[in-house]
Structure 1
Amino acid sequence: MWVDEWSGQAACRDTQPDTLFVKGAEQNKAKQVCSSCRVRSECLAEALENRIEWGVWGGLTERERRALIRNNPGASWAEVLRAAKSADRVGV
């Protein structure tokens, strides 16, 4: 199920923001926070749709998000990720 008001349910909601806005190898630790988050797709869609340039969002670094945007310039990320999350939920 897609959650529009996702931030209150995020796994990082009680994490210090500085933990998610790091560089280099520290980004792998930040990505671990996202790995079990139930609203990871919504968070990632927010970052992609709004071209957020800093930090780990939805388990992806800024470099990883830029690559997605560059390779899919016209994508509606909320639609793409909503469909993927829905398909995953029904086991497709």
Structure 2
Amino acid sequence: MSWVVDWTKHAVCRKTDPDELFVQGAAQNRAKAVCSGCPVRAECLAYGLDNRVEFGVWGGMTERERRALLRRRPTVASWQRLLQTAKAEYEKRSVRSSTSRIA
């Protein structure tokens, strides 16, 4: 699935009570589990990182995890661009890999 601009329509959490995504402590693991199979997880994470969202789980990462990532990669100007490129490369490799297995 290529990059989705209007990703919120496709988010698995759309059908989840928002209060379950903005939690503390061990409850964050349940919130992260909602993200695990989401088709727009990368788009959601990019939104959370680019907008420096301070609360809740976004793209499978807690606020603490996102903050640590931002500290480790301070030169990233656009997380959307970085994650969009990474997702496209992953999808290209996946197609090549599955094509070579068929041949």
Question: What TM-score does the superposition give when structure 2 sets the normalisation length?
Answer: 0.86
2:58 maps to: 57
2:99 maps to: none
Report the 3-state secondary structure (helix = DSSP H, G, I; strand = E; otherwise coil) of the residue aligned with 1:36: coil
Rounded Cα–Cα distance in structure 1 between residues aligned with 2:87 and 2:45:
12
Report the 3-state secondary structure (helix = DSSP H, G, I; strand = E; otherwise coil) of the residue aligned with 1:8: helix
Report how many aligned residue pairs link the two structures. 92
2:10 maps to: 9
- Structure with bigger helix share is 2
For residue 73 of structure 1, report the CA deviation from its aligned partner.
1.2
1:70 maps to: 71
Rounded Cα–Cα distance in structure 2 between residues aligned with 1:38 and 1:68:
22
Q: Rg bigger for which structure?
A: 2
For residue 91 of structure 1, report the CA deviation from its aligned partner.
2.4
Rounded Cα–Cα distance in structure 1 between residues aligned with 2:88 and 2:25:
33
Q: CA RMSD in A?
A: 0.9
Rounded Cα–Cα distance in structure 1 between residues aligned with 2:90 and 2:58:
20
Runs of 5+ consecutive residues of structure 1 not aligned to the other structure = none
For residue 8 of structure 1, report the CA deviation from its aligned partner.
0.6
For residue 69 of structure 1, report the CA deviation from its aligned partner.
0.5
Following TM superposition, where does structure 1 have runs of at least 4 consecutive aligned residues deviating by more than 2 angstroms? none
Question: What TM-score does the superposition give when structure 1 sets the normalisation length?
Answer: 0.96
Q: How does 1:32-47 map to 2 (within 5 A)?
A: 32-47=33-48
* AA in 2 matched with 1:61: T
For residue 88 of structure 1, report the CA deviation from its aligned partner.
1.6
Determine which structure has greater relative contact order: mean sequence separation of CA pairs < 8 Å that are 6+ residues apart, divided by chain length: 1
